Amino acid sequence: MAHPKRNNKWCVPSFDCEIINEPLVKRTKREVNKTIEELDKTLSNYSFTQNNFKRRKSETSLSKLLETCEPKKLSELVVSKQKQNEIFNWFQYKASNRQPSMLVLSGPSGCGKTVAIKLLAKENGFNIIEWITPIDQMEDENKHVIRQGDKFEDHVIRATRYHTVLGNCSKQLLLVKDLPNVYHEDHKGFFTLVEKYFQMGKDPVIFICTETGNSRLMQTLFAPDVREKFGIDLINVNAATQTAMKNMLKRVSGVLNSIASDMLHVSQQHIDEILSNSVGDVRSAVLNLIFISLKVPERYLKSECGVREETLGLLHGVGRVINPKKESDGDSSKFVHDPEEIAAFFQSQSVVFVQFLQENYLNTIRTIEEATVASDILSLADVLNSEWRDRNLGKVALSYCIRGLMLTNEKPVARWNPVRKPRDTHSNIRRCLVTAETQWYESIIKPCMKKTNEISITNKDEDMEIIIEED
């Protein structure tokens, strides 16, 4: 039996059991060296790829780092146990009744409001649907532009009336962190939406309101009379305490050192530095902890003079302003610490820095005259920081306040003065002003309403008498 013709190609079928004995090809020395060089190049590329793969195992994305640092259990929250119990009770007795219910969760920025709601909602078996205001214009199927308020109204009614098929929970709620800007001016439109929700909605709605210096949301859309009219609940969350911040940073430091050890290293010194500048903002504290813990090459740590740039803390900055030091410069004197450099460190938190100065400036002032001038300076800085739309005025107020206090306090009192945290009286004063304004308007409006009602009643009586006489 004749054997079939052998296949001289390099690819042999797997089902061919025939052993092919092909002669070896003799190669020259140059070809062998070329082959070795190509093999070395391939191996070097392979090792480089492996190193890259190992580096990718360490997380480098900032958003992923922040997501990993978020609390996973209720015991890891910075919100106090009392506020957690209030939110838990609202879920148990209000949100679980399959009736329209609304909650306003207010508090300063970064105090853990959103994370607390998500964990407690998961604990009570709720699936969260979050509203995010779109940046681009919205269009319908006919390419017609939809008003932002109309889209939000449609979303609220649908999300609170019909269940999503993508969730695993039998209960759901609508979370609104970013209220559409149209309702900041159109208050009546928002009240109409709330009335429609309480008529048609079934699932609960939670509004998260961040209290800032220029925020009037709580005094306009969620005023006390509005909440009483619709039965809206309010829970106010305070800023994170120093103990809660310390425990949180200790937990976060372990997480960051374990998942991002190639790019940063968090030490106890970094934690203490963040705690000294903390104002109760958890988000800001975690971001600052990540940035100051980055492993930067030594050549970037030094300036042209070979000295690392100074990092000025909040407490040290307040001390330099209320206890200014001077040095002689010929016939005159100048400040040891430049006021402009101090202001440059705190431009992002100018309002907080001015509040710290207001709380501590009297500790080092000797005379009443100096205290009077300093109080006038702080009052004007407070006016510039409040209710203005131009953000540059905050920088102007900060620079003016620092320069004014340092020039006014010519001979500061030399003693140890602990820096005190400012009291949270601004929100209470704002509420009192709003209440006084409301009462004043009611005192003017209600008598007018009573007079109109009396006139209408007398007119009706006269009509009745005329009808009786005709009969």
Query: Is 319 a domain residue?
Result: yes
Query: Is 10 a domain residue?
Result: no
Query: Is 62 a domain residue?
Result: no
* pLDDT number for residue 452: 52
Specify whether 333 is located in the same domain as 375: yes
Specify whether 231 is located in the same domain as 329: no
Cα–Cα distance between 278 and 242 in angstroms, integer?
8
Query: Is 18 a domain residue?
Result: no
The band of 293, judged by pLDDT with boundaries at 50, 70 and 90, is confident
Cα–Cα distance between 94 and 154 in angstroms, integer?
23
**Cα–Cα separations (whole angstroms), residue 109 to 112, 115, 211, 238, 471:** 8, 12, 7, 10, 72
Cα–Cα distance between 240 and 237 in angstroms, integer?
9
Phi first, then psi: what are they for 158, rounded to 5°? -70, -45
- Range from 11-20, 35-44, 259-268, 443-452 that averages highest in pLDDT: 259-268
Query: Is 4 a domain residue?
Result: no
Specify whether 325 is located in the same domain as 283: no
Domain limit, last residue, from 209, 239, 269: 239
Q: Burial, 396: exposed, middle or buried (Cβ in 10 Å; 0-12, 13-18, 19+)?
A: middle
Query: Is 450 a domain residue?
Result: yes
Structural domains in the chain (count): 4
Strands 145-146 and 138-139: antiparallel
* pLDDT number for residue 26: 54
Query: Is 42 a domain residue?
Result: no
Specify whether 416 is located in the same domain as 440: no
Locate 408 and state its tokens. Answer: 């006014």
- Listed range (153-167, 176-190, 457-471) with the worst mean pLDDT: 457-471
- Range from 104-118, 161-175, 291-305 that averages highest in pLDDT: 104-118
- The string of pLDDT tens digits covering residues 360-389 is 888 888 888 888 988 898 888 888 877 666
Query: Is 47 a domain residue?
Result: no
Specify whether 122 is located in the same domain as 248: no
| pLDDT(462) > 80 | no
Domain residue limits at 176: 71-135+147-239
Higher pLDDT, 292 or 41: 292
Domain limit, last residue, from 257, 279, 303: 303
Specify whether 338 is located in the same domain as 205: no
Specify whether 118 is located in the same domain as 188: yes
Specify whether 362 is located in the same domain as 414: yes
- The string of pLDDT tens digits covering residues 301-360 is 554 444 444 566 778 888 888 888 888 877 778 888 888 888 888 877 788 888 888 888
Other beta carbons less than 10 A from residue 423's beta carbon: 10
- The string of pLDDT tens digits covering residues 34-52 is 666 665 555 455 443 334 4
Specify whether 176 is located in the same domain as 186: yes
pTM of the model: 0.55
Sign of the four-CA dihedral 323, 329, 330, 332: negative
Specify whether 207 is located in the same domain as 271: no
CATH number of 210's domain: 3.40.50.300
Which residue intervals of 70-133 are DSSP H helices?
A: 81-93, 113-123
Specify whether 417 is located in the same domain as 447: no
Task: List residues bridging with 102 in a β-sheet.
Answer: 205
Locate 71 and state its tokens. Answer: 């609390």
Domain limit, last residue, from 252, 271, 303: 303
Specify whether 250 is located in the same domain as 292: yes
Task: List residues bridging with 207 in a β-sheet.
Answer: 104, 176
- The string of pLDDT tens digits covering residues 56-87 is 445 567 788 888 888 988 998 999 999 999 99
